Amino acid sequence: MAYTDFDPATVEARFGVGLRVDELFPAAESVAVPAWLTDHLGRIRGLALVTEKVRSELLVAPILLAVRELSGRTLALFSGQRMDIDPTNGLAGECDFLLSRQEAVPVLRAPVVAVLEAKRGDIEAGLGQCMAQMVGMRLFNERAGRTARIYGCVTTGEDWQFLRLDDGVVVFDATRRYLGDLAGLLGVFARIAADTA
């Protein structure tokens, strides 16, 4: 078993986490969108963004680079990082993207946000995998003696569903975020960066 094999009910049963829905970012303020990101998104407008790979490279990665920049470069970005934390329990596999609270070194330390690309554009189908990665990140941090809130996100590049792992409960954000409100989306990431510092 690997992260990709999980659905929410399996994560709930195997790791004893509860599930609930709540407003995670009720007062998140919009953040100014960097000019380079606005320019980039304008350049790709009209392209056929139909595969996961192209969405990852042209939508998700640039937005996460902007998040890193807006955090004052206090977050490191990892793409395709393996996180084999507990393979016997299925907490193993590659993560699409991780944001980590660390210096920019090539070794993963203190992961705080997992960002998963929705397969075939289906956010709900990616929730279990994201939840399992969040449980793995919490275990990774605990083993290193670190405590930080853990966040996750499943995205199509245009739609963004956030989650938070709190004391054994995965909380799904009641408000889905959209690329059409990029300033608001970046504001959510700014809140996450502040909350995990």
21: domain CATH number is: 3.90.1570
pLDDT at 104 over 70: no
Domain of residue 159: give its range.
3-195
pLDDT tens, position by position, 54-101: 888 999 999 999 999 999 988 999 999 999 999 999 999 999 999 998
The amino acid sitting at 124 is: E
Whether the Cβ atoms of residue 126 and residue 172 lie closer than 8 Å to each other: no
The pTM for the full model equals 0.94
What are phi and psi for residue 94, nearest 5 degrees? -95, 140
Residue 165's contacts (CB-CB under 8 Å, 6 or more residues apart) are 17, 131, 134, 135, 138, 149, 150, 151, 152, 171
Domain count across the chain: 1
